[in-house]
Amino acid sequence: MRNITLISIATGFSRRLLAATMLLALAACSTTELASLEEPAAVPMTGQTNDPAPGFENVAAGSEQDFILNVGRRIYFTQDSAKLDSVAMATLDKQASWLNNNPTWMLKLQGFADDSGSASNMETLSQKRADAAMAYLISKGVDAKRMWAKGYGNEREVRDCTERSCKVQNRRVVSNLRKQPDAV
């Protein structure tokens, strides 16, 4: 009986020893040589707040990427409202400044709504939201001829959901840069 117990212990120990050896062998493998061939070296960061995010160091001022990354293209609304709040106005202030400094760009303002009412009511509300954003930008000096607004109702939801925290993502206006007006 004692021999069987010792064999069982030895077998269990050898299994653990084999597993540990395999883990150490895998840990010794390195993919850093492959990674250095496939990925560019990371740009050194200075640790400053305004450092560009890795991969976005070469975003040209006045480009669409500049607008998206540094200005912001979405504003949000409360349920059943087209009223701009202070956060939306702050984003629109940045958009107006950027557009006034980059007069070759045109802007399509796309309004959206959640599913809290009939399709026709949500389309009307989304148009009012886009119009409110456009009126605000005009008040900040952006030429009205460079912009147009279109309400899409709830036909282009970010997410189809029932939670309030999720639905707010659908109550928005998205500002999209264009080089020329959309074809009708």
**Span 78-103, pLDDT tens digits:** 989 999 999 999 999 999 999 999 99
Looking at residue 34, its pLDDT comes to: 47
Q: Residue 26: its pLDDT value, please?
A: 60
| CA quadruple 154, 158, 161, 163: dihedral sign | negative
Measured CA to CA, the distance from residue 81 to residue 53 in angstroms comes to 35
- At 88 the pLDDT is 97
Q: What is the pLDDT of residue 133?
A: 98
Coil vs helix vs strand at 153: coil
Q: What is the DSSP string of 30-66?
A: --HHHHHHHSPPPPPP---TTPPPTT-TTPPTTSHHH
Say how far apart CA 26 and CA 156 lie, in whole Å: 47
SS3 5: helix
The pLDDT score that the predictor gives to residue 108 is: 97
Q: How far is CA 142 from CA 25, 30, 90, in A?
A: 64, 55, 15
Show the low-confidence residues of the chain (pLDDT under 50): 6, 34-35
Task: Name residues whose C-beta falls within 8 Å of residue 3's C-beta, 6 or more positions apart in sequence.
Answer: none
The CA angle 60-50-71, to the nearest 5 degrees, is: 55
